[in-house]
Chains A and B, each alone.
Chain A
Amino acid sequence: MDSPAGRYGLPDAIRSEWTKLSTVRSTAWTLLVTVVAAVGLGALVSWVQATHYANNGFIDRATFDPTRVSLSGLLFAQLAVGVLGVLVMSAEYGTGTIRATLSAMPRRVEVLWAKALVFGSLILVVGEILSLAAFFLGQSILSSRAPHATLGDPGALRAVLGAGCYLTALGLLALGLATVVRHTAGGISAFVGVLFVLPVISDALPSSVSVHVNKFLPADIGVSMLSTQPTGTAFPPWGGFTLLCGYAAVALVVGTVLLRRRDA
């Protein structure tokens, strides 16, 4: 068999990683959970909000954000996205395929880049489709008995498109964490810890402190990005998103350094 000219590179790594991602059931299952959570829970929350809107007090009505209501399922879907992001790397260590992967592609940085590009693109596409679907379905449910939004409303398009970006950055953070931890349970624990446990700990602090801590946490960044109105002391949506991308980048860079340095 004659070898092609040149040497293997990122495009080959991307094709290999896409083949891996698309040939295991866990990908389909976690994406199914993502869809059900994003669209189904979003519809459920929209329906409950619609049926109770008439009973809402003044404050609830004043702060009612139909865009955020319709996108609230994505705050559950982010868990499934994180699990898939962890699995993209940790499954290789759990099953031992990392040895085959790194034997085929010994320049290890390319392996992680390929995984990040393939998984990141998948989540971006799926995330945008889901947030649009959740938005339109949610608005149609709300429209009967409560205020509802259109994509032309201030901040609505930004929130809908931002939701897909948020899921993508969060998924890449999970991938980075898993590259550092190299273990499925450990990776998922780290991800859940960052996303769901840190806010609980922060809330145990005096509120004068926690307001300054919370806005740095991915959970608050997510809520800010899915809302059309400013939420409390949170960073503005794209400011928060930049910070979240920074977290993901740090996790991926630390992961890269460790991946290169450690024995596989």
Chain B
Amino acid sequence: MIEAEALTKRYGNTIAVDQLSFQVLPGQVTGFLGPNGSGKSTTMRMIVGLDSPDSGRVRVKGKRYRDLAWPLREVGALLEARAIHPGRSSANHLLALARANRIPAERVDEVLELVGLSAVARRRAGKLSLGMGQRLGIAAALLGDPGVLLFDEPVNGLDPDGIRWARNLLRSLAAEGRTVFVSSHLMSEMALTADHVIVVGRGRLMADLPIGELTARSLGFVRVKSPAPGALGDRLSAMGGVVSKVAGGALEVRGIRAEQVGEVAAELGVVLHELSPMEASLEEAYLELTGEAVEYRGGAGRGPDAADPTSVAQADVTAGEGARDG
């Protein structure tokens, strides 16, 4: 159980986390979703006491992190990949952490086995690939067999097999009754892993809801083609729908379901040439939620690529550089 209350963090004039309140409950995977730079990592660092909030507070199992008796036995965190001394072996890296919280040395071999690093455990960590580094970070989080787990972008650098493995691991940890809090900037990843999502943009809470509701909330529309669009459009508007005319004489109707549009058409005796419900993808739903909150917009606005959050991230870099050059 993690509880944040009005958590706020500023870096100079930038507000990284803004009055963020949420709860992360045990027994499910909670996704922490937001574009790059939306304050996810800062929030996670505040949960484990690495950064201190300017105001507000966060409690883990009802306590301040620094008041936990055996922190690694209560909270495990993967905060950044490859935060390892390149000259120390994976096993010794974990052993130093284990000793800090009196975790038996055998547990080091157990978690290395669990993440599939036993074969390279004695090798210097500097030789590990990005994916192996990520697995070592996951091993460190699991070291103390904690009831609360935080993972900041855990699938970064993992290959498809690794991603599937990590997903199953997160789900099984939650199924064991643990609190699992996973950040990602990829909606598609969260859709496969999370039961519940907390969506942030520019450090503010955008949504806090079960993943199914986010999907349902997706802002789809109904595409209608008719030789007599005027009468139909007027009626649908009168019913509270948002109707817009698009090229080719079609109507896009929002707020009214396709079945109802069909019924209205039948009632009016209007001929329909097309009646198609258009589902917005999860990605679109997510962008809809966070779109206003992306720090820098790419100059071209939302082209077809903008549906892919990674391209938003790239646009954000370019726009940021442009701003500095100007």
Contacts and interface: CB of A to CB of B under 8 A. Distances in A.
B51 A264 contact: yes
B100 A105 contact: yes
Interface string B64-104: 01101111110101011011111111001101110111111
A248 to B, nearest CB: 25
B87 A26 contact: yes
A7 B70 CA distance: 6
Interface stretch (B42-50, B206-214, B316-324): B42-50
Contacts of B102: 4, 8, 12
B52 interface: yes
A24 B83 CA distance: 15
Given A20-B96, A23-B88, A263-B45, A104 B71 contact: yes
Nearest to B70: A3
Interface string B295-317: 00000000000000000000000
Contact of A95 (B65, B79, B85, B140): B85
Q: SS class of chain A's interface: helix, strand, loop or mixed?
A: helix
A16 B101 CA distance: 9
A264 B73 contact: no
Interface in A1-59: 1, 3-4, 6-8, 12-13, 15-17, 19-20, 23-26
Q: SS class of chain B's interface: helix, strand, loop or mixed?
A: loop
Contacts of A19: 92, 95-96, 99
A23 B85 CA distance: 10
A13 B100 contact: yes
Contacts of B48: 103, 106
Contacts of B85: 20, 24, 91, 95, 97
Contacts, number: 103
Contacts of B88: 20, 23-24
Given A15-B99, A16-B97, A97-B85, A102 B92 contact: no
A8 B100 contact: yes
A8 B70 CA distance: 6
Interface in A86-105: 91, 95-97, 99-105
A97 B83 contact: yes
Interface in B161-184: none
A212 interface: no
6 A-B pairs with least C-beta separation: A96-B83, A7-B69, A16-B100, A23-B92, A104-B100, A106-B66
Interface of A: 1, 3-4, 6-8, 12-13, 15-17, 19-20, 23-26, 91, 95-97, 99-107, 263-264
Interface of B: 45, 48-52, 65-66, 68-73, 75, 77, 79-80, 82-89, 92-93, 95-97, 99-104, 107, 140, 144-145
26 contacts: A1-B104, A3-B70, A4-B70, A8-B70, A12-B100, A15-B100, A16-B97, A95-B83, A95-B84, A95-B85, A96-B80, A96-B83, A99-B45, A99-B50, A99-B80, A99-B83, A103-B50, A103-B71, A104-B97, A104-B100, A105-B71, A105-B100, A106-B66, A263-B51, A263-B52, A264-B50
